[in-house]
Amino acid sequence: MTLAFPKNTHLTVNPGQFVGIYPNDQTALLPRPISVCRWDEKEDMIRLVYRIAGKGTREFSGAGWGDTFNVTGMLGNGYDLSEMAGKSVMIIGGGIGIPPLLELACRLKEKPGTRVTAVLGYRDSNMFLREEFENASYRVYIATEDGSAGTKGNVLDAVREQGIAGNTDIIAACGPMPMLRAIKCFAGEHGIKAFISLEEHMACGVGACLGCVVKTKNVDEHSHVHNARICTEGPVFDAADVDI
């Protein structure tokens, strides 16, 4: 789905940031957090890619050009581009965690000296966004659960099979929690810095309700407990800082 914003909205999008979209169905009152997949700066448009999970996404998927939604955003911090510029970055996306990483790949492509390797994990041969990643990356590796393409298994199976961890400076990952846990562990073992994007059920999206926390290693600066708000301090965290 592509969202066009009112004239002169002048969006600024950091890759990894998300929006909160409100269903028009007034029985569903909370915003749906969806990450920006691509940002068209000139047209003030963003592209969102999502899985139909329930009420809200079902409604969105039925919408056509001309339908309107209330949207809040940009929300969250996103990936730190300056830290990644000029480095060798491995982008690891699993399933519906893949779309949020496309904007990152595209933006890193513009940074001189940055080499993006993408590892994308799919269920099967329905490899959405693969081409876009191929255009934006130095190389793309594929893993599929059913083995229909690339490495049979998950993204880390592909990383290991292809032996591509060696020259990686930074990992940027998004995907299901077991994958993120494995990456946190993998990155720790290999001494690679990993930024992971987390998901949690949200009510406000702006840091007010404390609904969306993740446990942190250290006391969080805002909350003064071992909890950081994913919507505000995240969704992108240094894997070493969170206790997942």
Partner 1 sequence: MKPSMEINIAGVKFRNPVMTASGTFGSGMEYAEFVDLTKLGAVVTKGVASVPWAGNPVPRVAETYGGMLNAIGLQNPGIDVFCSRDLPFLEGFDTKVIVNVCGHTEEEYLEVVDRLADEKSVSMLEINVSCPNVKQGAIQFGQDPKCLAEITGKIKDRAKQPVIMKLTPNVTDISEMARAAEAGGADAISLINTITGMKIDVERQKFALANKTGGLSGPAIKPVAVRMVYQCAGAVRIPIIGMGGIATAEDALEFMLAGATGVAVGMMSFHDPETAVNVAAGIEDYLVRHNISDVNEIIGAVQV
Ligand X SMILES: Cc1cc2nc3c(=O)[nH]c(=O)nc-3n(C[C@H](O)[C@H](O)[C@H](O)COP(=O)(O)O)c2cc1C
Residues that bind its own copies (CB under 8 A): 25-27
Q: Which residues in 199-218 contact ligand X (CB under 6 A)?
A: 203, 209
Residue nearer to partner 1 on the CB measure, 137 or 232: 232
14 counts as binding ligand FAD under rule CB under 6 A: no
> Which of 1, 14, 57, 73 is in the footprint of ligand FAD by CB under 6 A?
57
Q: Are 91 and 101 a contacting pair, CB within 8 Å? A: yes
> Which of 24, 209, 217, 240 is in the footprint of partner 1 by CB under 8 A?
209
Residue nearer to ligand X on the CB measure, 185 or 209: 209
Secondary-structure percent of the chain, ordered helix, strand, coil, rounded to 5: 25, 30, 50
**Cα four-point dihedral sign 229, 230, 235, 240:** positive
Backbone angles phi, psi at 224, to 5 degrees: 60, 20
Q: Which residues in 54-73 contact partner 1 (CB under 8 A)?
A: 70, 72
> At its nearest, how many Å lie between its own copies and the CB of residue 58?
13
> At its nearest, how many Å lie between ligand FAD and the CB of residue 63?
13
**Cα four-point dihedral sign 139, 132, 110, 231:** negative
7 counts as binding partner 1 under rule CB under 8 A: no
**Sheet bearing 139-144, strands edge to edge:** 151-152, 139-144, 115-122, 88-94, 170-174, 193-197, 236-238
Choose from ligand X, ligand FAD, ligand FES, none: what does 53 bind? Cβ within 5-8 Å by kind.
Answer: ligand FAD
With tokens 């406000």, the residue in question is 204
- Contact set with ligand X (CB under 6 A): 203, 209
